[in-house]
């Protein structure tokens, strides 16, 4: 089938934090006088609220019952700290500008709407996407097929004519393949192992240089 659309993940695929996310979480809790929270318990709660408009339910889940911290206040602090920590993967702006000359471009990112939007607003190159879907606006997040169908619907592209580019083996690779898309896994040191079901793998540091050629092989 002819490839006509490329859909991307956002976090750890097109952007990376400039310090560990645990450190970012620590900065946020310190800013509002909240008790220390672990990245692991945050991620577990995050997975239960992929269709939430903000992070308030996440922090409401993981703050101790006797905590006097307002979950909404902590969510706002963390949103600001996360957005401030993000940097683009090298060459992403030029990559997207070049790809849009040949493909429809989509972005599908898991997370609360206000949190992900605050990240996206930091980067001018997001304007290159023909469709941007945040799962906080949906009834389900990746790897649910409905999330992939939502972005494909916005693009007007059939699954067999699209490829998804992301780092997470379950949410991105398995999710895309189960929804009928092809999948390219972005790999990096310290990241998840390469998934055997991915149609191709690309090192994140080489994404801008190698992805255009990989797309020609699919």
pLDDT values of the chain reduced to their tens digit, one per residue, 218 residues: 699 999 999 999 999 999 999 999 999 999 999 999 999 999 999 999 888 888 999 999 999 999 999 999 999 999 999 989 999 999 999 999 999 999 999 999 999 898 899 999 999 999 999 999 999 999 999 999 999 999 999 999 999 999 999 999 999 999 999 999 999 999 999 999 999 999 999 999 999 999 999 999 99
Question: Considering Cα of 7, then 11, then 13, then 18, what sign does the dihedral take?
Answer: positive
Is residue 107 domain-shared with residue 91, that is, in the same domain? yes
Q: What is the pLDDT of residue 97?
A: 98
Q: What is the pLDDT of residue 53?
A: 85
Is residue 75 domain-shared with residue 119, that is, in the same domain? no
- Is residue 175 within a helix (H) or strand (E), and if so which, with residue range? helix 175-178
Does residue 83 contact residue 112 with C-beta atoms inside 8 Å?
Answer: no
Domain boundary among 85, 102, 119: 85
Is residue 9 domain-shared with residue 111, that is, in the same domain? yes
Opening angle at CA 158, ends 155 and 161, nearest 5: 100
Which structural domain range is residue 37 located in? 21-85
Is residue 92 domain-shared with residue 102, that is, in the same domain? yes
pTM of the model: 0.88
């Amino acid at each position: 089938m002819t490839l006509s659309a490329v859909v991307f993940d956002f976090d750890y695929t097109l952007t990376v934090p400039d310090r560990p996310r645990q450190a970012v979480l620590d900065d946020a809790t310190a800013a509002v006088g909240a008790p220390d929270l672990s990245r692991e318990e945050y991620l577990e709660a995050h997975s239960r609220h992929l269709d939430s408009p903000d992070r308030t339910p996440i922090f409401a889940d993981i703050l101790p019952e006797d905590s006097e911290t307002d979950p909404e206040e902590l969510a706002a602090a963390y949103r600001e700290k996360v957005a401030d920590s993000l940097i683009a993967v090298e060459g992403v702006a030029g990559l997207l500008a070049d790809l849009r000359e040949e493909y429809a471009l989509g972005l599908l990112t898991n997370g609360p709407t206000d949190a992900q939007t605050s990240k996206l607003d930091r980067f001018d190159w997001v304007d290159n996407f023909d469709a941007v879907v945040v799962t906080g606006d949906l009834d389900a997040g990746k790897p649910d097929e409905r999330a992939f169908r939502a972005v494909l619907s916005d693009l007007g592209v059939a699954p067999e004519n699209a490829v998804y580019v992301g780092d997470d083996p379950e949410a991105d690779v398995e999710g895309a393949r189960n929804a009928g898309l092809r999948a390219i896994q972005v790999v990096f040191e310290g990241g998840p192992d390469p998934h055997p079901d991915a149609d191709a793998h690309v090192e994140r540091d080489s994404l801008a240089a190698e992805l255009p050629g990989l797309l020609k092989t699919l």
